[in-house]
A and B are shown apart, each in its own frame.
Chain A
């Protein structure tokens, strides 16, 4: 059953009613809603979504945009009742990446936030145990940021480029 845009309209109306001016932007993207909120309002936005039926926490992750000097935090939630999906985005500066945690809203955000923290260096303030999840203790830096290069590719460029000529 494909998602209908009528459901998405009702979702964005509900969101605007609850969050008001906190919503910076709502766009529709391939049948999903993308909602941009200020970083400090992330838990509230997710709490509102949970209250209006978005019960499934799909995933959370980070994106690095070095050109704009921001790091982005994505939270993807799904509603099994309304069959709609919303991605909540908030942008933080790369120098002080800090957003409040959403573990109090969705229990499932716990591991996703720990992963984003160690891979992107985004600090989730108030997280109960912000510890390494996937990486070893000796690992330095934040490997998923764009300025961390994949070392073998620097040493030896991919030979597949040869075919492009």
Chain B
């Protein structure tokens, strides 16, 4: 029995004790047009998060099971749907895995074309992030610019592949076809546009006091925790770990290109934002060099649809816009993989959320979620 004083108007008594216990707040599941359907259950003490638990599975499509019934050509079409913002980055590592097991030498021209398309996809993905991250913080103008910028890279992808996002362009042994006429003439202007945009993105939000206040020092991810949880890509590099698959692995001839791997300093939301803006600049550098690198020649080895992957097991990873994108392929000699583990960047990146969200204020939840740049299709697979 508790008596509640109500400023002298009347006295109320209640049956229960009124205590300031923890409150459970359910965030999401959100509409698919955002990052996808992620739900986070947080336990709050006043305005502070005591405990946070992401709830996954709203977009689980059993890709690993489906892949066991599909040939490589069908699988690349499937894997576009993993991380739909950067579809081309998902199909290439799977093709590389099959090629390595089969001992197929990919023609140089195909490799360079893959690099160009990969980096254009990365430009599109990071442009979108720069805009949408503003939206998460309440800056409603930023996403307009983000969506607009992304379309320039997607236009180029559409010109080559016929599709903006689900390109399905990579084949075992190369790419489907050569670049169309008029492609090379269009690229330099678009790269120049992206370079001016990088400068504007840096000024646009970083000169904004509100943006800095809401991101500086929020969601600090120490490098040791990031590594232990398998956080990779821009999120890891923002924490100061210089780990980039393009530099570490010998794939697609990335070693021939001169580019830097920028790293952050504090690993907070602000650094993760700046990290992606800086990586857009490096992507422009890579595309420029790759365009000069295009030698005449074939773009695929003409591997047909009845191609069988020789037995063996291999792990191939690549640098996607969301971190380390890898396939652990176990083949028993058939067309379909015996077992295919899809290691996606987003899954590991948001597994660190319970750590990051502990002890922060409620409005910062959205800032941290946005700064990790995950796609739920990539998380749930």
Contact = CB atoms under 8 A, between A and B. Distances in A.
Interface stretch (B132-140, B247-255, B292-300): B247-255
B81 to A, nearest CB: 16
Given A59-B326, A150-B69, A160-B71, A83 B60 contact: no
A99 B57 CA distance: 24
B261 interface: no
A20 interface: no
Interface in B208-229: 224-225, 227-229
B65 A143 contact: yes
A107 B60 contact: no
A106 to B, nearest CB: 5
A61 B67 CA distance: 15
Contacts of A1: 247-250, 255
A160 B330 CA distance: 22
A132 interface: yes
Contacts of B306: 163-164
Q: What range describes how many residues of B lie at the interface?
A: 35 or more
Contacts of B330: 63
A136 interface: yes
Given A55-B224, A61-B328, A108-B230, A29 B314 contact: yes
Nearest to A153: B69
B212 to A, nearest CB: 30
A87 interface: yes
Interface string B56-69: 11001010111011
A76 interface: yes
B77 to A, nearest CB: 12
B169 interface: no
A138 B97 CA distance: 35
Contacts of B324: 58
A63 B326 CA distance: 16
Interface string A47-64: 000000001111101011
Given A32-B315, A56-B243, A135-B60, 13 more contacts: A30-B314, A56-B227, A56-B228, A59-B341, A64-B339, A76-B328, A76-B343, A80-B241, A108-B230, A108-B351, A134-B57, A143-B65, A150-B65
Interface of A: 1-2, 29-30, 32, 55-59, 61, 63-64, 74, 76, 80, 83, 85, 87, 106-108, 110-111, 119, 132-136, 143-144, 148, 150, 153, 158, 160, 163-164
Interface of B: 56-57, 60, 62, 64-66, 68-69, 71, 74, 100, 224-225, 227-230, 232, 241, 243, 247-250, 255, 305-306, 313-315, 317, 324, 326, 328, 330, 339, 341, 343, 347-348, 351-352, 355, 380-381
6 contacts: A30-B315, A55-B224, A56-B227, A56-B232, A111-B347, A160-B305
